Chain A
Amino acid sequence: MLPTLGGRIQTRLWLLAVIGGLVTLIIGPVLPVSAPLGTVYRDNFLILAAIAVLGIGWECLYHLVMQWRWEKDWPTLFGLVTVVPEGLLVWVLLRAGAIPGIQGTVPAPAYVIDLLAVWLSVWLVANGPMRVPFIRWRFHGGRLV
């Protein structure tokens, strides 16, 4: 999929909500966290929401970077490695207590496992299976509506 700015944002929000939500639900019980499952889910979904909301800003930045590319494309690998800056930013905000609603402390291993599982799933779906239910998606710059 070759993204437009609107398409990037729509795709991110949809994939994080649906695929990210599913992965978070599945992975919650096995994360190395000594807290009640309700708290784990609450914290992880808040982190997911933070990635989604902050991602709107990130997508604007990516869109700007993309303008220097003649093809106006976004290579597959870029979609994967952007987990590093995005994950670091959320981690810093988490440590600073800047993500509202988080209860207790989220251990680093649990954060990394959850983040990577969500990111990898979203990236894999975006690079193939997404085209099956949404046949117009790839021709519309990633827009779903």
Chain B
Amino acid sequence: MTDQPTELSGADTGQAQPATIQYARPPAAVAEARGAGDLTDALIAADQWTDEMVTAAGIPVTDVPFVSVGGGIGSFVTVDYLRIAGVAPNRMAVLSNLDFPWQTYKYLTRVSQIPEPERIRSDSASRPDNIWGFPSYALAEAVTERTVAPLWQVLIEPIWADYYTPKAGRVFAGLERERKRIGYDQMLVKGQVRMIRKRAGGGYFVILTPMVGSAATKRLAYRAEFVHVAVGYPGLKFLPELQDFRTEHQDFHHVVSAYEEHEHVYETARTKHIVVMLRGGGIVASRVLQRLMDDRAKYGLSTEIVHLFRTYIATSHGPNAWNRRKGGNGFAYQGFNYPKSVWGGQLKARMRKLEGTDRADAYKLMGGTNTPWRRRWQAQMNDGRAAGWYRTMAGTVEQMRLEDGKIVSTVKTSAGLVDVAADFVIDCTGLEADIAEHRVLADLLEHSGVGRNPVGRLDVERTFELRGAGSGPGVMYASGATTLGGYFPGVDTFLGLQVAAQEIVDDLARRGFCHRIGTLRSVRQWVRWAQNKTP
């Protein structure tokens, strides 16, 4: 089953259709050089393309049954699952501008103050390099570092210890090993995906702008029966007043995002007394705060921190005793970005049944900005509050101005307007842009028939098939942050990507594209994983 090409059948429509899917991925065939190899007005305007239209444009076409667009951890986890389900590398392509799947993740963790020796916010059994989550990161760490401490922590978490979380460096090393094991680089095609359009007769065309000098034409087309969209966050937004300040003053030095390079803030703190204003109450705010507090203690600095919360959480909160989340000192506390059971327990089961506003309301209840309650952070903040160098405020910023080299924010609080002067403002809010800000997603929304879910992201089925994007026997899937708001929360996490990948691969197995991973295959493949042998 798996090793045979699937072909589009014309039987249902009563008309002969060409087989789009070939077993192997042949080199791209340059079409009859009738066009210049670029998109034409006709292609840009049409929702559905014929083979002839692409040929006429002179765009070389490569046939490959499964194409994943994105090339981040979402693509990686999905092709990893498919490799384990028996799909050969030459039946899949990952189109990406990334050199390796965790490139963006690594950048974001580093700038948001999680260097490789630090621990990320993820569960011990959430391993993107191991679909079974066994051995867990804690067990692997215990074995390699010859210590029972990680196992003890998992045993007594979360009541008597903080949740165990793996070190970023360990995560990256595991991903590197798995990348080599599954032959990821054989599937990777570097370039910028421009658009995905339905193909007349079934399947899709994915248009790639290849790396400069790597192809004879400006565009390449991939003709696929199945397409997977995992482009990650459409983009980050600044708080409007911060954006306005940056634009007006052209100051990208004193007002920074935690998601961009801002090492100069910490370097300045080591040379003189500064006041830093933090905006946001999530995990990144906690990380930046930790860095400032760590440096303060380590180098004997006098840095002052003013922490502004838009929504100040003073205590535990929730509608009833069964839905009460811990909170205090401004923060909403939660181990991971959603309650843990959304990844497999009763909340996952419940969300799967909710539609429309019921689902949107459930997202509101358990979502919102939150951060873990960690003993170390609590101790540091308590010290700061007691000594007066860490202050919290609740309110919104009405206006920002430059005064004597300081950034003065006028904060609207419950007690009226208060001016706060700071040397640096760090935006840790991580506001996400609308999905239409992403070029490929905008094109999909306009041309493919996909819609938005109750929270405004891409609308997917429980199988992660994009609703409305079907094309004959072809199916388009999406996973990751762009699908937040669907039947499964927690999509933009390691485990969430694996949940999605499992649903997608099971759906592809039902369609005959790959094997279903049953007990025997699972055990056999796990042994191969343990031996570091190709799937």
A residues with a Cβ closer than 8 A to B are: 1-5, 7, 66-68, 70-73, 75-77, 80, 128-129, 131-136, 138-141
Contact = CB atoms under 8 A, between A and B. Distances in A.
Contact of B339 (A71, A76, A128): A71
A125 B159 CA distance: 22
8 contacts: A2-B344, A3-B346, A71-B158, A75-B157, A77-B160, A128-B139, A134-B519, A138-B133
B346 A140 contact: no
Interface residues of B, number: 41
B136 interface: yes
B156 A77 contact: yes
User: What 6 pairs across the A-B complex have the smallest Cβ distances?
Assistant: A2-B345, A72-B341, A71-B340, A2-B341, A73-B340, A2-B344
B402 interface: no
Interface string B252-281: 000000000000000000000000000000
Given A76-B154, A131-B133, A141 B340 contact: no
Given A73-B341, A76-B155, A136-B502, A128 B136 contact: yes
Contacts of B139: 128
| Consensus secondary structure, chain B interface | loop
| Consensus secondary structure, chain A interface | loop
A138 B344 contact: yes
A3 B341 CA distance: 8
B343 A139 contact: yes
Contacts of A139: 343-344, 348, 499, 502
Contacts of B135: 128
Given A138-B133, A141-B346, A141-B349, A131 B341 contact: no
A113 B519 CA distance: 32
B326 interface: yes
Given A133-B519, A138-B344, A70 B325 contact: yes
Nearest to B130: A131
Contact of A70 (B125, B339, B499, B526): B339
B522 interface: yes
B296 to A, nearest CB: 32
A72 B346 contact: yes
Interface string B312-337: 00000010011111100000001100
A139 B493 CA distance: 14
B477 to A, nearest CB: 17
A67 B502 CA distance: 28
B436 interface: no
A80 B159 CA distance: 14
B134 A132 contact: yes
Interface string B505-523: 0000000000001010011
A144 to B, nearest CB: 10
Contacts of A131: 125, 132-134
A72 B351 CA distance: 13
B354 to A, nearest CB: 15
Given A72-B346, A141-B344, 13 more contacts: A70-B326, A70-B334, A71-B339, A72-B341, A73-B345, A76-B157, A128-B125, A128-B135, A131-B132, A136-B502, A138-B133, A139-B348, A141-B349
A135 to B, nearest CB: 5
Contact of B158 (A7, A66, A67, A75): A75
A31 to B, nearest CB: 27
Contacts of B321: 68
B345 A4 contact: yes
A70 B157 contact: no
Contacts of A5: 346
Nearest to A134: B519
Contacts of A140: 344
Contacts of B340: 2, 71-73
A72 B526 contact: no
B498 to A, nearest CB: 8
A68 B341 CA distance: 13
A70 B322 CA distance: 7
Nearest to A140: B344
A4 to B, nearest CB: 5
B339 A133 contact: no
A6 B502 CA distance: 21
A41 B130 CA distance: 39
Interface in B140-159: 154-159
A77 B344 contact: no
A73 B349 CA distance: 13
B509 to A, nearest CB: 12
A129 B348 contact: no
Nearest to B527: A132
Contacts of B160: 77
Interface in B100-143: 125, 131-136, 139
Nearest to A135: B522
